[in-house]
Chain A
Amino acid sequence: MKRLLIKHGRVVDPASGHDAIADVLVEEGAIAAVGPNLSAAGAERFDASGMVVAPGFIDMHVHLREPGFEHAETIESGARAAAAGGFTTICCMPNTSPVNDNATVTSYIVERARSVADVHVLPIGAITKNSSGEELAALATMQQAGIIAISDDGRPVMNSRVMRRAMELACAYKLPVIDHCEDLNLSAGGDMHEGYTSVRRGLRGIPSASEDVMVARDIILAEMTGARLHIAHISTANSVAMVGFARSRGLLVSCEATPHHFALADEHSQPYDSNYKMRPPLRGAQDVEAVAAGISSGVVEVIATDHAPHAGSEKMQEFEKCPFGITGLETAIAVTLDRLVHTGRISLMRMIELYTTGPARVLNLNKGRLAPGMPADITVFSTTHEWTYDVNKTCSKSKNSPFHGVSFRGGPAATFVNGRLVWAR
């Protein structure tokens, strides 16, 4: 029998409330026991002294670019970047080419991931055909093929009637609806957050209101239809407040925040540097503060990266021509430690929740716990190791990160998927 003993780590498991120095015994790819001073003759050993041992992290919002944009990322390279970032499960958005709007594409992603990916890859299906916002996609057959949620991420459904129909079906199928909330008329032509900094730089703005009006619409439709609504990459103070309000009414509404939206404000972005260009954009300092406050208050239940690789040539252009999006898998843990844990805003336990039980609850996945019998997906990370992120050494095929050259205290150390070590520092 193949056995692995992860020794002497600080084992933090939000589901059970465990937070103590302990060993984790893995047998045949599953968790066998968690406890102090476990002995296992003949087991392979991994010394986790001085490190945190947590359930495998889940990133419920990534772009893997395959099929269609393999020059920027593939399922294989994206999964490797995920492993290097401490993630054992990633959920990929459907904006590939072709769009993941039918079971054939879903099956391709599932099969491809099974043969080349180091981590679990769970596809998210499109809400509408070609994500063009008009005709509903084949939701039920995609679900049979393996999608775990639906979203027209990046090309949100503007037509409220179509969104209502999608939510009605999704509610019946128990499929969460993930929405990239952006009123495309209000944001049209915008390249960065609308405010003092955009006016100063002479760039067209994306107003906070473009997010807020859609969050409001979606909450109203979620109440009407009973669907589970998850707001992707929340970025404004008003939207955080509205999700809090929806929750207080008992609605099945949740939201995620990205590390860049709680770490960086528009005014601190490098002028005309597309590594700071994404949608939603880096907002004003008050919004950044509101997102961080939402994480500590519990309104934000998930941290997700919105890992959005783009080839260098695409990002080396006039700012207004550059595509939106930055990579994020490899820096998420470090940025979260840096901005939220080391600053005392949230506990280590809470941070781990945001990456494990949080997304598992939203997506209704049996993941994110270190209980005996569960697949041994385990994230080991340091809270003290000092290092500097070098984007030239990334596992991703793309290098569009604003965190290149930034020094951190703490980061991923080792990643186990089904008990197999897939990455180590």
Chain B
Amino acid sequence: MTATSAGLLGIEELSRPEIQAILSRASEFRNPQEAERLRGILRGKMIVNLFFEASTRTRTSFEIAAKRLGADAVSITASGSSVTKGESLVDTLNTLAAMRPNAIVMRHAASGAPHFLARYLPIPIINAGDGTHEHPTQALLDALTILDHRSSLEGLRVAIIGDIAHSRVARSNIYLLSKFGAEVVLCGPATLVPADLARLARGVSISYDIKDAISGADVIMMLRVQLERFLETPFHPGEYFQFYGLRLEHISLAKPDVIVMHPGPINRGRELSSEIADSQRSVILNQVENGVAVRMAVLEKVLNGT
């Protein structure tokens, strides 16, 4: 039982050059000629997408990324697997590992589930989101999206608004943005933004006022409120949109060329207004597009060790 996995578990443990390399490679994959040239580089490799939690865009995005590089991808979701028959996580993974895939892409509702398995499985694991901990490929595609609109992450002011406590997207973005010298302001109701979040990385601060948080922002990242993760409602539901929902009138407080991001799925009228979602400032669909390129780069790095 040795841990030889060299997958991708989180952004926290990646260095700035490693992140830089993935982003540069992802940029190359977006170039159609380059993509055509690299079409078969993962031919003969097999990845298993194991999704213990519902996901549309991340799973599809990994599948497309694998196929574009010539790898075989098998997707398994919890509802269609032996997990629902009471098999333990370790046994499920051991069974799949015995089929000798080259990597396992895994999403799980429990924080640390891929880290736990990585200690026992010799196969690289790519974390596609673990509980309320990390979602590394989301932060990478978010960075790529920001870099489509800014020359560098250094010195940018990024406001992340919503349910930070339960957001793996927020944690991965905090680590990544901080490593590149961006300033991160976290904003939401106090019950969703524990004070210890400010200690996660350098340059992170907290505000409970959306107008403060957005002032002078280069980037606004909106997060979904994950009601399913709560034991009780942490705020009056009728108040949320009024105090923490992003509306058109807020945009003038930010930089004139501010971009609005959201990892999806979006809830119009709950965390952001329809006008914002469909506005010129929104880069939400751009994020989805970049997801494939980033995941191609990650798969290549993990499977070919580049």
Contact = CB atoms under 8 A, between A and B. Distances in A.
Chain A residues touching B, range: 20 to 34
B295 interface: no
Nearest to A198: B196
Contacts, number: 63
A201 B199 contact: no
A208 to B, nearest CB: 13
Interface string A183-214: 00000110000011011111100000000000
Nearest to A191: B111
A259 to B, nearest CB: 25
Interface string B190-215: 00001011011000000000000000
Given A188-B231, A202-B130, A320 B111 contact: yes
Contact of B200 (A199, A313, A320): A199
Nearest to B12: A200
Given A317-B89, A318-B110, A202 B171 contact: yes
Contact of A202 (B88, B168, B231): B168
A202 B165 CA distance: 8
Contacts of B133: 201-203
Given A313-B88, A317-B89, A203 B199 contact: no
A272 interface: yes
Interface string A303-337: 00000000001001111110000000000000000
Interface stretch (B112-120, B256-264, B278-286): B112-120
A321 B196 CA distance: 24
A199 B192 CA distance: 11
Nearest to B171: A202
A50 interface: no
A318 B108 contact: yes
Contact of B111 (A189, A195, A272, A313): A272
Contacts of B119: 273
Nearest to A322: B116
A199 B197 contact: yes
A271 interface: yes
B230 to A, nearest CB: 9
Interface in B77-99: 88-90
B132 interface: yes
18 contacts: A196-B196, A198-B196, A199-B194, A199-B196, A199-B199, A199-B200, A200-B12, A201-B111, A201-B112, A202-B130, A203-B111, A203-B112, A203-B133, A271-B115, A317-B90, A318-B110, A319-B110, A320-B110
Interface of B: 12, 88-90, 108, 110-113, 115-116, 119, 130-134, 165, 168, 171, 194, 196-197, 199-200, 231
The 3 closest A-B pairs by CB, nearest first: A272-B112, A202-B133, A318-B110
